[in-house]
Amino acid sequence: MRIPLSSPDLSEADIAAVSEVLRTTQLSLGPKLGEFERALGTYLGAREVVAVSSGTSALHLSLRALQVQEGDEVIVPSFAFIAVANAVRYLNAIPVFVDVQSRTLNLDPEKIESAISLRTKAIIVVHTFGVPAEIDRIREIATRRRLFLVEDSCEALGAEYRGKRTGAIGDVGVFGFYPNKQITTGEGGAFVTQNSEIAARVRSLRNHGRTGAENWLQHEEIGYNYRVSEMNCALGLSQLARLDSILKRRTEVAEAYHRHLQGQDGLEPPELEIACGKISWFVYVVRLTPEFSSEDRDWILAEMERRGIGCGRYFAPLHLQPAYRGTPHRCMDLTVTESIARRTLALPFFNTITPEQIAEVCATLQELTQKRRR
C-alpha cells in the first residue's frame, strides 16, 4: 500500500534500546520486564502491572484469575475485536453479546442489566477505538450485581474517564501493544490491577504456574507460556517515555481528518471530544450514512485499496463471525451493532502520516462515496 492502514512509529532511541538488550545475556525475565511494569503502573496509577505476550493473553489470564469457569456467562460487546469473546471461550464460558451506544460504540449501560442471569460472572467493557466507556455507570451495575468488571483498554492507552486513566478503574484491566497501537512492543500486552493477590496469581499463570525462580521446575497449577521478552519490554519503555507526544500527534491527525470530512455528504466522521473523558486515538473510523449498505462499504474499501490506500472493516460483529456459528453464546438485541458495523470504514491512521496523504485519502473517499451514491 502506498498509504498503509497503520504503521509503527519507531525512533532511533527505540532501536538503540532493543540493541542494548541484545548485547546482554538475559533476554527473558530480566530487569527490563520489571522496569516496564513499574513505569506503566506509575503512568496508569495502578498498584500492579504484569507484562505478558499479548492483549489476548492478558484477557485470558484476567478471566482465569477471576475464577471464570465452564458454563459461566460473561457480558461482552459484539462490536469489538474477536479476542474479547475468544478469551471467554478459552475457559468454556459463555459470551453474552450486548449492544453498544450509537455515539461512542461502547457497551451500552442501559442494555447490561437485562443481559444478567444467575450464571453471569463478569462484564468486559471495551474502550472502543480509544473512546472511554461510561465506566462509572457500568461499575455501579457490576458492584450491585456482584460481578467482576474487566476493562479492555487494549485500544485506549492514555484515555481518561473523569480524570482517571482507563484500564486501572475496574477490578482488572488489560492493554495490548501490537504495532498498530498507540505504543508498541512488537507483540505484547499487560494485565493491570490494584489487587496484589490477583496479580500474584497472574504472574504465576504467565510462567507455567511457577511461584518463584528458586524452584524453576515446581509448578503450583497448570499455567501458560505468556511471558514477554526483554527486547519487547525495552521497546515498550522507550516508547512509553514519549507517549505524551505520540498521543498529541495522533490527536492532530484525527483533527486533520475531521477538517477534511466534516460536512461531507454521505459521511459521518467520529466526534473529536467526549463528555467526562479524554480520547486516546487508536484508529480513525468513519461511518457511511444509513442509505449505504455493507456492499457499498465493501466496494469503497476495495476501490481504496486498489488505489493503494489501506482501509479496514472495523468491526465485523462477533456474533456473526463464522467462528461463532454453532459455538455456545447468547445474543441480546444487537440492532445498533448490526446497523453501524455494516457502514464503518477505518482510514489510514499513524503518527507519520503526512498532510498530503490525509488530503489524498479524504479526496478519494469523497469521490468514491459520491460515485456509489449515484
pLDDT at position 373 over 90: no
DSSP, collapsed to helix, strand or coil, labels residue 307 as coil
**pLDDT band (50, 70, 90) for residue 39:** very high
Q: Are 50 and 72 in contact (CB under 8 A)?
A: no
Q: Is the pLDDT of residue 374 over 80?
A: no
Position 45: which residue type? G
Q: For residue 35, what pLDDT is reported?
A: 98
- Range(s) of the chain covered by CATH 3.90.1150.10: 243-373
pTM over cut 0.85: yes
Measured between alpha carbons, how far is 75 from 346 in angstroms, rounded to an integer?
Answer: 26
Average model confidence (pLDDT) across the chain: 97
Q: Go through 251-270 and write b for each residue having 16 or more CB atoms within 10 A of its CB, e for each that does not.
A: eebbebbeebbeebebbbbb
The predicted-structure confidence for 309-344, as pLDDT tens digits, reads as follows 999 999 999 999 999 999 999 999 999 999 999 999
142 close to 359: Cβ distance less than 8 angstroms: no
- At 191-224, the pLDDT tens digits run 999 999 999 999 999 999 998 767 788 899 999 9
Which pLDDT belongs to residue 211? Answer: 84
- 111 part of the active site: no
- Reduced to 3 states (helix: H, G, I; strand: E, B; else coil), residue 75 is strand
Task: Identify whether the C-beta of residue 53 lies closer than 8 Å to the C-beta of residue 228.
Answer: yes
Task: List where CATH 3.40.640.10 sits in the chain.
Answer: 12-240
Choose the catalytic residue: 111, 121, 181, 278: 181
- Quick check: 40 and 168 in contact, CB under 8 A? no
For domain 243-373, give its CATH number from 3.90.1150.10, 3.40.50.2300, 3.40.640.10, 2.60.40.3500: 3.90.1150.10
pLDDT reported for residue 265: 94
Q: Does domain 12-240 have CATH number 3.40.30.10?
A: no
